[in-house]
Structure 1
Amino acid sequence: MNRISARRGGASSPIFARSPAGSKRTRARIRGAALIGSLALAGAAHAELLKFETRPDGPNEAVVATVKLDGTSHDIAGTLAKPAKPAKPPSGAKALLIETQSSDDVKPLALERGLAVLTLDVAKLPDKARAPALRDVLGHLRGALKMKRVLGRAQGSDADAMTDAASAFDGLLLHDANREPAAPTRFIETWGADAYWREKPRVEFANGAPPNGRRFYLAGIAASTTATNCAAPVNARPSAPALRALFAALDEWTAKGVAPPAARAPLDADLAPAQDLKWPKIPGLPAPPEGARRVPKIDADGNEIAGLRLPDVALPVATFTGFNAQKNKKGPPCAAAAAIPFAATKLDREKNLDPRPALVERYGSRAYFVATVRVIADKLVKERLLLQQDADAYVAAARSAPF
């Protein structure tokens, strides 16, 4: 490992580690020295990058960074993955995606589109340190790695930290954020059904998204699929297909100015007080959480009507909720939502006193079901809300539907 150092107050501090390369190393030293220095950040927060090192780690590079905030040093670990070098990257000039959690939902697509992907574990940082740390690291990386664009992807509290550091990013893909970035940073925000049913439910925005943003509600999808101590079968519908399509849209929006698809988020008329929902009497359906909240309206099956309805909820084989219940009241809480499958035949549902039409009753045959899934999936591809490979995957899954 080769360190690039800059002198600060008589001491030598490692800033950027690169593999030995003669004159390249010298040029990197100059870049590192030019970039070193504290960054003035919003409010009272003041951060400086003390160290940024990389070392080979299989096909990737391991990253170690140290950021000093309010006199306290914080270490950040991460991984840098670099794309193959196509003749012309699909997304144009050199770009970087920053993620705060390791995931294969978007990373392979980003690499395919010519972006490098830096995963930074900021979970161990104090909440107030996350945004300054992200801002400081990116302020240096833009120049050191010669990045023309920097995109970010995070969820929950990490998404709020990215929002607070939005000035360092060209675009953000945020899930379940409490705040939205100000212009000129472009953003695409998503959230799922569980956001309305948790202990502290989501509060809707009074107005539509600003010109620099788009909002997408992922109908019938929950963030957690952990089945620990859950009374009902777990809702395991993935958000990844939607996130991949929306990331591609964000990439094109920030690289080429191509406007993303129109927002698909519930308006006030699409919501209702939770106590007013008329749930079908589904065997095994947990009781919805109590408490005052406004939630998306549901259809006769109990599935949500508003938002981005992917093929498996537009043409469902089950009722997908944003809540579940504890199986053992003395055990840990169930973090997942519920999925109650439809019966295969009319006889099956009548045995279980299930009011929802069975698969054969609603779709007739598997061939019809598969063909209709293809129509829905292809429409979403045309609307740039689904990638072709994910559309094909939905059709393949439909061929295994439990008829």
Structure 2
Amino acid sequence: MWPIRRRGRPRRGICDHLRNVVATSALSRAVLDALDAWVSEGVEPPPSAVPTVADGTLVTMEEWSRQFPAVPSALRPYSPDELYAVDRSTVPPVADRSRRYTVLLPAVDADGNETAGVRAPMVSVPLGTYTGSNTRAPGQGHGALHEFSGSTFPFAATKDERLITGDPRPSVAERHGDAAGYVARIRAAAEQLAARRLLLDEDVERAVRAAASWSAPRHDVESP
């Protein structure tokens, strides 16, 4: 019932957590098609899905921390990377630490997944929490943010498992039932993206095929 072992499973590398495994290349193909239609035929592109302060999808670090669920063993970043004003009249340019820009974060849902943006089918129908940040492991600058690798925090397989670990996020079995239920939800999410011109029809079928094995190997997090 659950994802099988195979090559290509997620890795931690020098980070505390598994790297973000969300597949986004299909979204880029659809956007390129939309760009081509806009330039060559004047067809308006899909509406922007960028998070904003106005609609509450762009929030402070404090608000993000309140929204993010208590995922077992997840090491949260202390703060986002600071962004300072830079004096570029000098060589090399010098950051002015007395003047910093406000850094905001995308709001997240009860699973810890971002609410705005273009959500890939595997985010709309998740098997875990997928974040945009990851922290460095001990011996690698422990606790500091690591580039843009992101993290994956898999859901528990069953309700019993999540209760044992104290995971507030519903388990895979609770949300999807069986493999057929998961595949059906992935198809529905993919078709909704296609209707918004954010996924090509051929990639709808690719998403469905990938879901047939519980999106393995991307979600195969068992030890070798």
Give TM-score, length-normalised by structure 2.
Answer: 0.73
What does residue 44 of structure 2 align with? 259
Which of residues 278, 302, 318 is equivalent to 2:112?
302
1:293 Cα shift? Answer: 2.7
Tell me which of 59, 74, 93 is aligned to 1:272: 59
Q: 1:330 to 1:384 in 2, by over 3 A?
A: closer
1:231-380 paired onto structure 2 within 5 Å: 231-268=16-53, 269-277=56-64, 278=66, 279-290=68-79, 293-330=103-140, 334-335=146-147, 336-380=149-193
C-alpha distance in structure 1 between counterparts of 2:13 and 2:167, whole Å: 26
CA–CA distance in 1 between the matches of 2:196 and 2:108? 24
Q: Is the 8 A contact 1:232 1:284 kept in 2?
A: no
Query: What is the aligned-residue identity percentage?
Result: 36
- Of structures 1 and 2, the one with the larger relative CO (CA 8 A, separation 6+) is 2
Q: 1:122: which partner in 2?
A: none
User: Does the 8 Å CA contact 1:246/1:385 hold for their aligned counterparts?
Assistant: yes
1:239 CA displacement: 2.4
Task: Tell me which residue corresponds to 1:220.
Answer: none
Q: Please give the secondary structure, in 1, of the residue aligned with 2:59.
A: strand
Corresponding letter in the other structure for 1:372: R
Segments of structure 1 that go 5 or more residues without pairing to the other structure are: 1-224
CA shift for structure 1 position 363: 1.7
Instruction: State the match for 2:87 in structure 1.
Output: none
What is the distance in 1 between the residues matched to 2:175 and 2:186? 14
CA-CA distance at 1:317 after TM superposition: 0.6
SS in 1 for 2:204: helix
- Between the aligned partners of 1:293 and 1:254, the Cα distance in structure 2 is 33
Cα deviation for residue 246 of structure 1 reads 0.3
Aligned length: 179
Query: Partner of 2:5 in structure 1?
Result: none
Determine if contact 2:24/2:120 at 8 Å carries over to the other structure: no
Choose 1 or 2 for highest CA Rg. 1
Deviations 1:336-359 (A, max 9, x none): 110000011112212222111101
Please state whether the residue corresponding to 1:275 is helix, strand or coil: helix
Tell me if structure 2 keeps the 8 A contact 1:227–1:334.
Answer: no
- CA contact 1:311–1:373 (8 Å) conserved in 2: yes
1:324 deviates by 0.8
Displacement of 1:227 in angstroms is 4.6
Instruction: Structure 2: give runs of 5+ residues left out of the alignment.
Output: 1-9, 81-101, 220-224
Deviation, 1:226, is: 8.4
Partner Cα separation in structure 2 for residue 359 and residue 290 of structure 1: 30
* Deviations 1:199-251 (CA, angstroms, capped at 9, x unpaired): xxxxxxxxxxxxxxxxxxxxxxxxxx985301101102132111110001111
The code of the aligned residue for 2:190 comes to A
Contact 2:16 2:136 survives alignment (8 Å):
yes
CA contact (8 A) 1:283 1:353 kept: yes
Distance across 1 between alignment mates of 2:140 and 2:180: 46
Q: Given the superposition, is the C-alpha separation of residues 325 and 367 from structure 1 closer, same or farther in structure 2, using an over 3 Å criterion?
A: same
Task: Indicate if the aligned counterparts of 1:280 and 1:302 stay in contact, CA closer than 8 A.
Answer: yes
- Deviation of 1:299 after TM superposition, in Å, equals 1.0
Task: Encode CA deviations 1:259-311: one digit per residue, 9 max, x unaligned.
Answer: 21111111212111111222211112121241563111111111111121121
Q: How far 1:316 moved relative to its partner?
A: 0.7
Q: Which secondary structure does the structure 2 equivalent of 1:340 belong to?
A: strand
Q: How does 1:33-52 map to 2 (within 5 A)?
A: none
The amino acid of 1:341's aligned partner reads P
When residues 320 and 242 of structure 1 are mapped into structure 2, their CA distance, relative to the original with a 3 A threshold, is same
Structure 1 242/319 Cα, relative in aligned 2: closer, same or farther at 3 Å? same
- 5 Å matches for 1:142-221? none
| Matched residue SS, 1:343 | coil
What's the CA shift for 1:365?
A: 2.1
TM-score scaled by length of structure 1: 0.42
CA RMSD of aligned residues (A): 2.3
How far is the alpha carbon of 1:398 from its aligned partner? 1.6
Please tell me whether residue 392 in structure 1 is matched to residue 205 in structure 2: yes
Displacement of 1:319: 0.3
